[in-house]
Amino acid sequence: MDGQPFFLVNKAVDPGLLQVLENEIVPRLEKDLPALVTPEELENNPYLHRFTIIFDREGYSPEFMKRMKEKRIACITYHKHPKENWSIEEFSAQKISSFAGNSIEVKLAERGSLLSNGLWVREVRRLSENEHQTSILSTDYCSDLTIVACKMASRWSQENFFKYMREHYNLDRLSDYSLDEIPDTTQVVNPNYRQLDSEVKRYNAKLSRLLAEFGSVHLEGKIEETLIEQYQKKKEDLQEKILEIQKNLSVAKEERKKTKHHIPLGALPEAQKFSRLSTKTKHLVDTIKMVAYRAETAMVNLLREAMARYHDGRSLLRSIYQTDADILPNEKEKTLTVRLHHLANPLSDDALRHLCKELNETEVVFPGTELRLIYILGTN
């Protein structure tokens, strides 16, 4: 539930989250994910799911959630079209554990919700301090509402980590920015469709403003001929503009309907063709990022077991990275001892000793040798 990476999907051209989820991510999870529940458990409990996928509003689709439910896969996502706010009295304070492991108090409420395709889902809402309500939908019918809210929040953990790694370790300097050609058969958004779609949105926005203005024009004060003429003139002018916008909107919609949404890359004008970042080193760099994420998160969790100030875990780990150390190989004992120098204070030293103890219990052999790694602090 801490959002640790399982695998990576890299797309030169984004076909949309839903398509990638259904055609690439879900099939791979079905194939590679270890069995979390047995077939007997699934048969005995119709509400039990095999695993849960969590995604943002771009993937919101009642039909997709229904198809996943039929596969016994639970979905958690934000509600793209939430209805009116719920009564504040429905919300109660709940303790949830964040992906970092610390406990925080939030206000949550839950109802059942019927989607447009007849699918019943759980709707969990989180109330912020300014009384904004964030709506979360889930087909996980078994977990407590605090678990649903926590899982949705854990989706940010990897993004937060890479932001942290860019700030402190300049991780993106590893990337190769050379370019590769994209196959001409790759489907991309038709520029003509994109332009027409923008026109439709622009006309819709103008029409909404004009209709609102038309509805707000009233004849106020005394009924005088001059005022009536001004009122009628303003109404006529607005109606003329509305009719013109409606005509343009209708034409733009018809043109958009006749225009293909996607076309092969090779059909683009030469000036609009594009390349992608080279994948020669990208897969290796992405692997390094995932390993770095898992390694640092694991070490932070170990450090926090011996720390009074929970949130100082990553800053202490950065201090450890920068600490001098002695490398002491022993061919006879087949060990490679890393003797770390003392940190700034005794509490930090205690946490580091705990980390060394946990790492030593793994009995890792240094790659390319037969030397077992041993971590010690100072002369201990």
Does residue 12 fall inside a structural domain? Answer: no
Show pLDDT as tens, one digit a residue, over the chain (380 residues): 455 667 777 776 677 888 889 999 999 999 988 888 899 999 999 999 999 999 988 889 999 999 999 999 999 999 988 989 999 999 999 988 765 556 788 899 999 999 999 999 999 999 998 889 999 999 999 999 999 988 887 777 666 666 776 776 666 666 666 666 777 777 888 888 989 999 999 999 999 998 888 888 776 666 667 777 777 888 888 889 999 999 999 999 999 999 998 888 788 877 777 666 666 676 777 777 778 777 888 898 898 888 877 778 888 888 898 889 999 999 999 999 999 999 888 888 999 999 999 999 999 999 999 999 999 998 65
Mark whether 29 and 57 lie in a shared domain. Answer: yes
Mark whether 339 and 225 lie in a shared domain. Answer: no
Mark whether 164 and 283 lie in a shared domain. Answer: yes
Q: Cα separation of 54 and 65, whole Å?
A: 11
316: its two tokens:
């202490």
Q: What is the DSSP letter of 1?
A: -
Q: Which domain holds residue 220?
A: 187-274
Mark whether 24 and 108 lie in a shared domain. Answer: yes
Mark whether 26 and 111 lie in a shared domain. Answer: yes
Mark whether 43 and 165 lie in a shared domain. Answer: no
Does residue 2 fall inside a structural domain? Answer: no
Q: Cα separation of 257 and 193, whole Å?
A: 9
Q: Which long-range contacts (CB under 8 A, 24 or more apart) does 172-177 make?
A: 174/281, 174/285, 174/288, 175/277, 175/281, 175/282, 175/285, 176/277, 176/278, 176/280, 176/281, 176/282, 176/285, 177/277, 177/278
Mark whether 290 and 164 lie in a shared domain. Answer: yes
Q: Cα separation of 352 and 306, whole Å?
A: 9
Q: What is the DSSP letter of 60?
A: -
Mark whether 116 and 250 lie in a shared domain. Answer: no
Buried b (16+ CB within 10 A) or exposed e, 256-267: beebeeebebee
Does residue 235 fall inside a structural domain? Answer: yes
Backbone angles phi, psi at 377, to 5 degrees: -110, 125
Does residue 6 fall inside a structural domain? Answer: no
Does residue 112 fall inside a structural domain? Answer: yes
Mark whether 57 and 134 lie in a shared domain. Answer: yes
> How many domains does the chain divide into?
4
Mark whether 137 and 248 lie in a shared domain. Answer: no
Angle at 183 between CA 182 and CA 188, to 5 degrees: 75
Q: Cα separation of 142 and 45, whole Å?
A: 10
In this structure, are residues 372 and 336 in contact, taking their beta carbons and an 8 Å threshold?
Answer: yes
Mark whether 199 and 327 lie in a shared domain. Answer: no
Does residue 288 fall inside a structural domain? Answer: yes
Does residue 348 fall inside a structural domain? Answer: yes
- Strands 325-330 and 262-264, sheet pairing: unpaired
Mark whether 25 and 62 lie in a shared domain. Answer: yes
Q: Cα separation of 20 and 12, whole Å?
A: 12
Q: What is the DSSP letter of 268?
A: S
Does residue 214 fall inside a structural domain? Answer: yes
